[in-house]
């Protein structure tokens, strides 16, 4: 079980449902019930971006958990959305990511949970909080909707944030790294909980099947018409008597 301590670094000009994240249940990680807020005291040092060292200087070295999971909105080194930092810390930036997810009606919390699963599995594979070198052993450039997608093209984050999976190649690497097969299967099943909201799933289905939707709506309208006539005939004696 990985104990995850979440902190928010700086101002988040977006709505993040921290209650939803805190109450998320997994057999493989536990999220500390207190999410702390830290202030950004330094200015950016790489143009508008913040270097790993700069971010790390604003974080505590001791915390209540196995991993310090830092969420921020400022752009990170190399414009990556995640950076592994020394002393069991990982920083996730919502810079650009939040706009992409909002435009596609995907909850930010989905992305956060997808990233936590990524760290938890890598921690099992490498017996430590992953370094950048560890991450490069498993992540792949091709986007497959997998939690180990590199997602160099940030807009492709929508695939692994709306329906995250563990692809076959990553599953093979994890098994080679002695992560038990049953745990990989269990986590794959847990990942199925991470989905878009029901309304947006229905809306997506309608967009993907417009003709079928028109057909179903028409049949439903006809059935409703027949049912109304039947109901009227059934109630007619009572209506006439009244
Ligand atoms: Zn993969």
Locate the domains of the chain by residue range.
2-196, 200-234
Over the stretch 110-162, which tens digit does the pLDDT of each residue have? 999 999 999 999 999 998 888 888 889 999 999 999 999 999 899 999 999 99
Distance 164 CA to ligand 1 centre (A): 10
Distance 4 CA to ligand 1 centre (A): 23
Distance 17 CA to ligand 1 centre (A): 27
Distance 137 CA to ligand 1 centre (A): 11
The DSSP bridge partners found for residue 85 are: 89
Distance 27 CA to ligand 1 centre (A): 21
Over the stretch 58-94, which tens digit does the pLDDT of each residue have? 999 999 999 999 999 999 999 999 999 999 999 999 9
Ranges 112-121, 160-169, 217-226: which has the least confidence = 217-226
Alpha-carbon distance values, 157 to 36, 75, 151, 228 (Å): 26, 16, 6, 47
Q: Among 5-9, 151-155, 224-228, which range has the highest average pLDDT?
A: 5-9
Burial (CB count <10 Å: 0-12, 13-18, 19+), residue 70: buried
2-196: CATH topology: Collagenase (Catalytic Domain) (3.40.390)
What is the model's pLDDT at position 227? 77
Own/partner contacts of 141-148, CB < 8 Å, gap of 24 or more, are 146/170, 147/114, 147/115, 147/117, 147/118, 147/121, 147/191, 148/118
Distance 173 CA to ligand 1 centre (A): 9
What is the model's pLDDT at position 220? 75
Distance 99 CA to ligand 1 centre (A): 24
Distance 166 CA to ligand 1 centre (A): 5
Distance 107 CA to ligand 1 centre (A): 22
**3-class SS at 85?**
strand
Distance 108 CA to ligand 1 centre (A): 21
pLDDT above 80 (res 201): no
Residue in the structure block whose two tokens are 């017996």: 127
* Ordered DSSP codes for 89-140: EEEEE-TTHHHHHHHTT--HHHHHHHHHHHHHHHHHHHTSS--HHHHHHH-B
Distance 176 CA to ligand 1 centre (A): 14
**Mean pLDDT for the stretch of residues 24-39:** 94
Closest CA to 107 of 2, 25, 193: 193
Distance 61 CA to ligand 1 centre (A): 31
Distance 177 CA to ligand 1 centre (A): 14
Six-digit token string for 29 = 């990680």
Q: How confident is the model at residue 197 (pLDDT cuts 50, 70, 90)?
A: low
Q: What is the DSSP letter of 74?
A: S
């Amino acid at each position: 079980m990985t104990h995850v301590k979440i902190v928010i670094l700086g101002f988040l000009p977006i709505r993040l449902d921290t209650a939803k994240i805190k109450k998320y249940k997994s057999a493989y990680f536990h999220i500390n019930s207190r999410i702390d807020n830290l202030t950004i005291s330094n200015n950016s040092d790489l143009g508008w971006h913040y270097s790993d060292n700069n971010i790390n200087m604003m974080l505590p070295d001791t915390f209540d958990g196995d991993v310090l999971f830092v969420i921020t909105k400022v752009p990170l080194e190399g414009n990556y959305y995640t950076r592994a930092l020394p002393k069991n810390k990982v920083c996730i930036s919502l810079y650009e990511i939040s706009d992409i997810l909002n435009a596609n009606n995907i909850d930010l919390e989905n992305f956060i949970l997808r990233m936590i699963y990524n760290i938890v599995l890598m921690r099992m594979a490498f017996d430590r909080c992953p370094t950048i070198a560890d991450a490069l052993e498993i992540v792949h450039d091709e986007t497959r909707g997998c939690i180990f997608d590199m997602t160099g093209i940030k807009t492709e984050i929508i695939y692994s944030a709306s329906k995250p999976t563990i692809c076959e190649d990553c599953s093979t690497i994890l098994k080679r790294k002695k992560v038990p097969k049953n745990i990989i299967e269990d986590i794959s099943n847990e990942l199925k909980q991470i989905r878009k909201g029901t309304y947006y799933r229905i809306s997506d289905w309608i967009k993907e099947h417009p003709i079928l939707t028109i057909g179903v709506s028409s049949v439903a309208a006809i059935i409703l018409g027949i049912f109304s006539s039947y109901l009227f005939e059934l109630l007619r004696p009572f209506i006439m008597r009244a």
